[in-house]
Structure 1
């Protein structure tokens, strides 16, 4: 059965009627469910809300009521906890225990179909990156205090790591958490910057320094933010993704119970780095869809725009630009699909080691591909691509969002270096494992 005609590069190949080994009936049903829910409740007004710089509160409430924030946590979902709070199915009847990483891929791809990271990021970032450390590393008592309200959307979360002097260099975090004289509280002082969703957050998952310098002195603590004594927050105006609520946070003698510690003191760096893998892969998925939106919008435009007596698509230089970007885009998507397939087959402990560096590389490459596709779109839209309203508005907005992919979640140059260092480390470890024990005479 042939698929309806689509603008070239506007959809992943599996949605264009081409065969794929990855997607089963459950995945295809989930894609249809996601598309309808997200179109009805987010995409219809995403461009308008991004221009207004805020997504209305009722959108969060709709997603929470529909259990459509849960998929941003990523596979496997915390089934036991979801059952505890009464969530057994996602929209379309998908049981939470059957949710795999291809369902995650589809959800992240559909959430980015507006081409803008801000509207979707305003809903998902806190749940996607602030909640998982609680699920993975917090003790039962901490989980019972916070997870019921966070999983049901009654309260909001965020991940608070980055500081003015410590971005990709996580080990350089200087925000301190010193125990009170009676050892019942942490007294937290410092600043956090570029914290997505921070302005709306009830409980942040925060990286703090409980010990000496370096990575061994870091811990993670649940720190209340909104209307909490000693916490001052203000929104930051960044180039793109404005509606996602980028926030500057000042912490002045913020008193937090020691019971808010996540896991063990001194293990914060491990928790942060483990959490980064999911963050970077979902950034790569969303960025690849943004590149797709930009390139397909340009493709549609050049097929109708006329100059010098013919449509732009009849110009060889235009086709050349589209071809180069199309090759990059579909190659990136194929890598993302391959990556997700590997995650469905490898145990989490193995995937963290084998794919950790490659996740960083995939995220970096997604930013590079987005930059090429967005720049191509702006150039092909011409003056319209340089204008914040009108036919080229989406291309102009996406192009401003490129740095928001290439910098957050680990800046591009750091990611490229990290990928190679991790690959070398894995190679050296495996070589040592293959070495014959000293003194052995066995061949």
Structure 2
């Protein structure tokens, strides 16, 4: 693919700079062009302004729904039968819904983060990306029929509500309870959810609750669709976090909230399994966006160093500056190549096999993305100097990206937990494969 205007080094992944790639075909290039045009116009051009104002205008979500730019946040393969039932036959870039794969999803997630900020894009995609998939995978027909049409068309919004004040990455110890009412028709939900992205805007939550007795751990967890909007007993308030402010992070309290028993997703007691399987898409989606944020930070610093002068020459003429940029570039391009490899592998694997084979590595990829962003953002702040420490002016985007580093390293499973989880899961997989070899009869 010919590139008419050269971009700043590291501003784009190699395949968008015209270099050969074994992964991307004509449909991927067509999608990328469609995403670049729509997302730049409707999101990226104003993303910095909206994040500074700490609010995403409500029309933005509607704009994305009308343009069919919400559904690409779903994991591949897409629910083609559902989409065709709703009159949706093609995705952006004129790609048939049946042909959409994880590489298409990677392109969308990458373009959604090209402003360098997680808040505005997260304010649009989080509910569709993480709240809707459990309904698609595990809910029965009546529950799907009640909720999916409006969710998929963007008429209503969802969120994923798992984390609690005293249970973050330790999902098995959540304490929000869902007990059967005396009449037997409802779950009565009590508890609190904290740091819930999109929680302020969502009409309903895909919520992890404890249906088992106290002390039942992972076996006592279930998933419910909990209506939030105008539902008695539900109260929500905005949480002011350091970064990603416009994504609507919230604290949700539930006081004797009635939820129909028909809102149970899948089987009672299987919620932990559903949550863990859902995490794989969430972590890869986050990895892609965070990798693009690192790219924005590094390329912005690169452009600044080409023009900023100190001690009689540009910063780029200083060996120590080039050394800093080089180290970050190596980490960034390695992470970027890893993410592309992941997406390609997922185009060749069914979900059950991918969850088994790649679950641990997905956790590791997400953790590494946060560490790479930390290196690139810190490097950019140092090279921008005082400008990178100022909330306005030419270093504003760098200052904001650096404040978002903890948001890349904590949500979706905090870094230390994911590093440990990745190795434990890979050891478990290795032991299972070793044991199966021993059990095979010798010929």
> Structure 2-normalised TM-score?
0.98
Tell me which residue corresponds to 1:298. Answer: 301
Aligned to 1:329: 332
Shift in Å at residue 40 of structure 1?
0.7
1:432 aligns with 2:432: no
C-alpha contact (below 8 Å) 2:91/2:97 kept by paired residues: yes
Name the counterpart of 1:181. Answer: 182
Which stretch of structure 1 is more off in the superposition, 1-10 or 106-115? 1-10
For 1:373, the equivalent position in structure 2 comes to 376
Partner in structure 2 of residue 405 of structure 1: 408
Number of aligned residue pairs: give it.
Answer: 440
1:17 aligns with 2:18: yes
Q: Which residue of 1 aligns with 2:53?
A: 52
* TM-aligned CA deviation for residue 246 of structure 1: 0.2
Distance 1:47 1:39 in 2: 12
The answer to whether 1:362 aligns with 2:370 is no
Q: Are 1:271 and 2:274 an aligned pair? A: yes
Does the 8 Å contact 1:178/1:187 carry over to 2?
yes
1:121 to partner: Cα distance: 0.3
CA distance in structure 1 between the aligned counterparts of 2:289 and 2:61, rounded to whole angstroms: 19
Q: Could you give the per-residue CA deviations for residues 363-414 of structure 1, whole angstroms, max 9, x where no partner exists?
A: 0000000000000000000000000000111110000000001000000000
Q: Secondary structure at the match of 1:199?
A: coil
In structure 2, C-alpha distance between the alignment counterparts of 1:75 and 1:383, rounded to whole Å: 44
Assess if the C-alpha contact under 8 Å between 1:230 and 1:251 holds in 2: yes
Q: Give the corresponding residue for 1:422.
A: 425
2:256 to 243, 250, 253: 253
Task: State the SS of the aligned residue for 1:391.
Answer: helix
Give the 4+ runs in structure 1 shifted more than 6 A.
Answer: none
Between 288-297 and 337-346, report the one with greater CA deviation. 337-346
How far apart, CA to CA, are the structure 1 residues paired with 2:32 and 2:356? Answer: 30
Deviation at 1:436, TM superposition (A): 4.4
Q: Do structure 1's residue 82 and structure 2's residue 83 form an aligned pair?
A: yes
Q: CA deviation at 1:128?
A: 0.4
Aligned to 1:285: 288
Give the match for residue 392 of structure 1: 395
Evaluate the alpha carbon distance shift between residue 402 and residue 217 of structure 1 in structure 2; reply closer, same or farther with a 3 A threshold: same
Counterpart contact for 2:306–2:315, Cα < 8 Å: yes
Cα separation, 1, equivalents of 2:207 and 2:439: 45
CA deviation digits over 1:158-214, x for unaligned, max 9?
000000000000000100000001210000000000000001111110000001220
Ranges in structure 1 where 5+ consecutive residues have no aligned partner: none
Q: How does 1:87-98 map to 2 (within 5 A)?
A: 87-98=88-99
Q: Distance in 2 between matches of 1:162 and 1:347?
A: 28
1:238 maps to 241
Aligned-partner Cα distance in 1 for 2:249–2:222: 23
8 Å contact from structure 2 (residues 28, 103) kept in 1: yes
Q: Which moved more, 1:367-376 or 1:95-104?
A: 95-104
For the 8 Å contact 1:199–1:226, the answer to whether it is kept is: no
The aligned runs of 1:4-153 (5 Å cut-off) are 4-153=5-154
Q: 1:436/1:253 Cα in 2 relative to 1: closer, same or farther (>3 Å)?
A: closer
- Quote the offset at 1:5 in angstroms: 1.1
Could you tell me which runs of 5 or more consecutive residues in structure 2 were left unpaired when the two chains were aligned: none
Question: Per-residue CA shift, 1:321-351, capped at 9, x if unaligned?
Answer: 0000000000000100111111111121110
Contact persistence 1:196–1:247 (CA under 8 A): yes
**Aligned-residue CA RMSD (Å):** 0.9
> 1:248 Cα shift?
0.1
Secondary structure of 1:92's counterpart equals: coil
Q: Do the aligned residues in 1 keep the contact of 2:209 with 2:222 (CA within 8 Å)?
A: yes
Of 203, 211, 222, 1:219 maps to 222
Quick one: distance in 1 between partners of 2:416 and 2:45?
A: 36
State the Cα deviation string for residues 280-331 of structure 1 (Å, max 9, x = none).
0010000000000000000000100000000000000000000000000000
Residue 2 (structure 1) shift: 4.6
Superimposed CA distance per residue, residues 99-135 of structure 1 (whole angstroms, 9 cap, x where no aligned partner): 1000000000000000000000000000100000000
Question: 2 CA distance for matches of 1:427 and 1:61?
Answer: 46
**CA distance, structure 1, for counterparts of residue 217 and residue 308 of structure 2:** 57
How many Å apart are 1:92 and its aligned residue?
Answer: 2.8
Partners of 2:430 and 2:337 in 1: CA distance? 25
Contact 1:222/1:261 (8 A) holds in 2 = yes
Counterpart for residue 210 of structure 1:
211
CA distance in 2, matches of 1:73, 1:209: 26
- Farther-moved stretch of structure 1 (220-229 vs 185-194): 220-229
Which SS does the other structure have where 2:253 is aligned?
strand
Cα displacement (A) at 1:91: 2.6
